Chain A
């Protein structure tokens, strides 16, 4: 397939559909490689909730050429900073190494992704995943977020937790996982990205050599945008000491060109030095109160979130609603916008320093925009945010409507009929 070079980027697609994106960073000493598999919790069916995440664990358990032990030893022989994670809509595997080791790193990651899902390891690894689920259940915020998603996205695959449930992971068989793996880990559903001090020609050669024979599945992702539900839902867990209060509202998706505007809006409302910080945290009402723009490929949520003493929950909610109403009805001030933009410029400069951060940015760019963005292009999008664009955003996606209220903690509040 034709290779395209554009500034520091090289884009190439293998004959089997695997897309390769490379960013040259000649000033660094390291390089990072990663595979993004376009599969996650939202691609599962209810009886198999958690299979994407469990499968991610199994990718470390053995291939035709390596045992699980060989895989971990080979990573550590390079001194790689490596890991994997699963979200609602993607599963990512990466390794960050010294530049001389990038070829070995790519070979290892590529081999891992052709896992044989060894039967001898399946039940042992299932125990690990069940421990991870137990650990998450000891974390109030983790439980509150899972609960929120369950209610806001009710009836849609985004509703269940990435980790799944004990009663879906527990009965899962290796054959069921194998079928999911065959469909979802085909090269036309995978993106391969490398950033760092590398030679693009050499990287393409590695990709051809190690991934060129991967068979196409022809199974396209069947994703349907969710309905976003309002209402009030309460999760009572008496053993926790604090109460989570979360208001959520529909917002733009990660693919929307107004993503920087939504992020800036969230920062003004609930980031550092934000309205929430001064009117809630610095009033001693709650140690944490923030606004977060949650992005998915085809939908988004603006979440106003705080955690407080249970008896303060209604005061926290009221304080969040007051600020939410104000930001929807009055234009934010230009100096607030400038502050956020200035900080964003610094964070982009920091993130552009290391191959690992660039890897994650490139994954987002490719998934959400279909092409990599230079730091200059990102800065231009930051510069385009104004008080007017933020005002327009809130006119279309108001956060002073009812939205969805989730409350989680020891207090049964608010009382819902």
Chain B
């Protein structure tokens, strides 16, 4: 922890810095704690539209002038709007850091949401919804997300065609005015910077930006819907998605969950890859992962396979989860732990990755965490811990979504649920 700096600025910004003096770049993330969950229910897609148009004009510059100003310092930028946050990320050479922060402050604080940019963003959002129909994985993710999280956390950032129709330019401005302010901003910085200077520049640039009162650190309710749902679509492969509730990122059992997911899908020796792909050749793609909105956790299994093999694939996925509690082995636990620990060192050579880790820690834990702290918790996981986790959080209520030419056979669902009443 000794090298991290973590402070709250008078302007309301919470910021963390990981000084990495040997690096040749600086990365930072500005997370505004508002996303799709904060949208009015009849105007879904609003948060993302703000994210798309906020840098298309300020009181000082047109969108193009702003982009040119970023390019003049060689900034590598990105932005994303999710359920809970709007994130603006940037990597620059250290000598351009101050200017990069100033330009971000300019559009975050003083966007003009030009009418033409707003119109274009609505048109593009409609087309992105259409594009989602051509993206089988992305569409399956959207469909299972709605079932897993319910009407609030399950919102898709793109919104829906009918809700996009209702959004006006004034809505963007009103929503930005009420949801973008200093107290809702969390900043993470990693790289060759002086933490003191980072504090000064952010305070200077965001001084007086709305209320400094800490806001947005809320959790949103989950409405998990157990059951099996099929969505017919003409595809060569069937998309299979399975999920059930897990634990949140700050829970004491979270490191155990991470390790168990590593056992299932941490590498090619993981159980799903081994049993579904390597032994049976049922799939090219199979995976297990977790999502952790603030205050909740969700476990997902996913695979895509040709329709006549989907029942067997589904059965194998669940069989592997079910037998974990009975036969998890020390060597696979060790491999999962090693995978998590090694990734900290390999990915840690990337300044951008270090910044993203810090940003996540500030978001979930409200403080930076050292590699040592992460490693210690993961390395402490034992087989007994894993078995206790699997007993405490059984996959007894499943949400299953399939997308493709045919639903799962009833018999496949029944066979995969010998000890419960099945997902439906």
Contacts and interface: CB of A to CB of B under 8 A. Distances in A.
B346 A77 contact: no
Contacts of A131: 237, 281-285, 304-306
Contact of B352 (A139, A350, A356): A350
Interface in B1-57: 22-25, 56
A6 to B, nearest CB: 21
Interface in A236-276: 239-242, 272-273
Contacts of A79: 335, 338-343, 346
A223 interface: no
Contacts of B68: 273, 335, 339
A308 B124 CA distance: 9
Interface string B244-271: 0000000000000000000000111110
A81 interface: yes
- A79, A97, A124, A137: which has the most chain B beta carbons within 10 Å? A79
A77 B338 contact: yes
B267 A96 contact: no
A346 B92 contact: yes
Contact of B236 (A28, A135, A347): A135
B91 A346 contact: yes
B23 A282 contact: no
B81 interface: no
A129 to B, nearest CB: 8
A98 B279 contact: no
A281 B123 CA distance: 10
Contacts of B93: 345-346, 349
Interface residues of A, number: 70
A241 B133 contact: yes
B74 A73 contact: no
Given A132-B284, A135-B285, A81 B76 contact: no
Nearest to A308: B127
B228 interface: no
A124 B74 contact: no
B168 interface: no
B269 A273 contact: no
Contacts of B305: 131
Contacts of B24: 349, 352-353
Contacts of A349: 24-25, 93
Q: How large is the interface on B (under 10, 10 to 19, 20 to 34, 35 or more residues)?
A: 35 or more
B366 to A, nearest CB: 27
Nearest to A127: B281
Contacts of B72: 338-339, 342
Contacts of A134: 236-237, 306
Nearest to B313: A131
A93 to B, nearest CB: 13
B266 A76 contact: yes
Interface string B304-346: 1110000000000000000000000001001100111111011
Contacts of A132: 284
B22 A350 contact: no
B349 A72 contact: no
B120 A273 contact: no
B350 A353 contact: yes
B71 A343 contact: yes
Given A98-B345, A342-B72, A350-B351, A76 B268 contact: yes
A226 B25 CA distance: 41
Interface string A13-55: 0000000000000011110000000000000000000000000
Contacts of A347: 76
A77 B335 contact: yes
- B121, B285, B338, B351: which has the most chain A beta carbons within 10 Å? B338
Contacts of A135: 236-237, 284-285, 304
Contacts of B340: 79
Contacts of B304: 131, 135, 138
B234 interface: yes
Contact of A125 (B234, B281, B351): B281
Contacts of B91: 346, 350
Interface in B105-136: 117, 119-124, 127-128, 130-131, 133-136
Contacts of B237: 131, 134-135, 138
B67 interface: yes
A287 interface: yes
Contacts of A287: 124, 127-128, 131
Contact of A284 (B123, B135, B270, B352): B123
A282 B63 CA distance: 10
21 contacts: A30-B345, A69-B274, A73-B269, A75-B269, A76-B267, A79-B335, A98-B345, A123-B281, A124-B280, A131-B281, A134-B306, A135-B284, A139-B135, A242-B130, A273-B64, A287-B128, A340-B71, A342-B72, A346-B91, A353-B349, A354-B346
Given A82-B267, A124-B281, A281-B120, 20 more contacts: A30-B345, A76-B266, A79-B343, A124-B278, A128-B281, A129-B284, A131-B283, A137-B236, A138-B235, A139-B134, A241-B131, A242-B130, A272-B67, A273-B71, A284-B121, A287-B127, A346-B76, A352-B24, A353-B349, A354-B349
Interface of B: 22-25, 56, 63-64, 67-68, 70-76, 91-93, 117, 119-124, 127-128, 130-131, 133-136, 234-237, 266-270, 273-274, 277-285, 304-306, 331, 334-335, 338-343, 345-352
Interface of A: 27-30, 60, 68-69, 71-73, 75-82, 96-98, 101, 123-129, 131-132, 134-135, 137-140, 239-242, 272-273, 278, 281-284, 286-287, 307-309, 335, 338-340, 342-347, 349-350, 352-356
